[in-house]
Amino acid sequence: MGPVGVERPVPAVVLAAGASTRFGSPKQRLLLEPVLERVRAARSVGEIVVVLGAHDVDVPVQTVRCPEWKLGPGASLRCGLAALADAEAAVVVLADGPGLHPEAIDRIVRAWRSGRDEVLAASYGGRRGHPVLVARSAWEKIPESGARELGAVLIRCDDLGDPGDVDYADDLPVELRP
C-alpha cells in the first residue's frame, strides 16, 4: 500500500497460452489486443502480463512464455503469477473474452480491497465468470485446471454484460472478424 489514501494498482494476468484448436487458427492474434484495451481501461490495473504458450503474439506489454501450457490453465496462470514480484493479488483475464467490461475488473478489485477474500470472481446471471482476482495467499493452491477449482466470492456484474468466450470462429464478434 502506498501513501495514505493512495492504493497501489493491481496487476493483471491475461491468459493467452492455448492452442486454439477449436477456433482453427491462433485466435489470440485477433482477440488479445481488444481484450488488452479493456484491461488498460480499468482504473485499478497497473502492470499487465500476457502468458503465451502455443503461439507467439506480438503485444506491447510484458509477455511470459509458459513451457508447461499443455498441462492446463493452472500451469499458465502460475507462470504469469511468477512474473509478479511483490503483488498482493492479481486480476486474471482470459484472452478470448472480448466483451470484458473494465468496470468488472474495478468492481472485483474494490470488493477485494474491502473484504480481503482470497479469490473473487465476476458473476453473470448467477454463473461464475471472469475476471477473477486471486490474492497472493491463494497462488500456491492453484491446481492444473486453474483458478476455477478454487472457491470464490462472486461479485455480481450482470449489468456489465458477459465478457464472452470465443472458442470457435463463429463465436467471434462481427466487429472483430477479418
Q: What's the CATH number where 135 sits?
A: 3.90.550.10
Check whether 5 has a pLDDT greater than 70.
no
Q: What is the mean pLDDT of the chain?
A: 92
Q: Per-residue pLDDT for 132 more than 80? A: yes
Does 177 fall in a domain? no
The stretch 163-169 carries a mean pLDDT of: 88
Phi, psi torsion values for 18, nearest 5 degrees: -65, 165
Question: Is residue 83 in a domain?
Answer: yes
Residue 120 banded pLDDT, cuts 50, 70, 90? very high
Lowest mean pLDDT among 45-54, 70-79, 89-98, 143-152: 143-152
Alpha helices (H) in 65-155, listed in sequence order: 73-82, 102-115
Mean pLDDT of 46-65: 94
136-146 core/surface letters (b: 16 or more CB in 10 A; e: else): eebbeebeeeb
> Based on the structure, what is the number of domains in the chain?
1
**Would residue 38 count as lying in a domain?**
yes
Residue 176 covered by a domain: no
Place of cell 475488473: 105
- Higher confidence at residue 176 or residue 42? 42
Strand partners, 133: 91, 120
Region 50-79: mean pLDDT is: 94
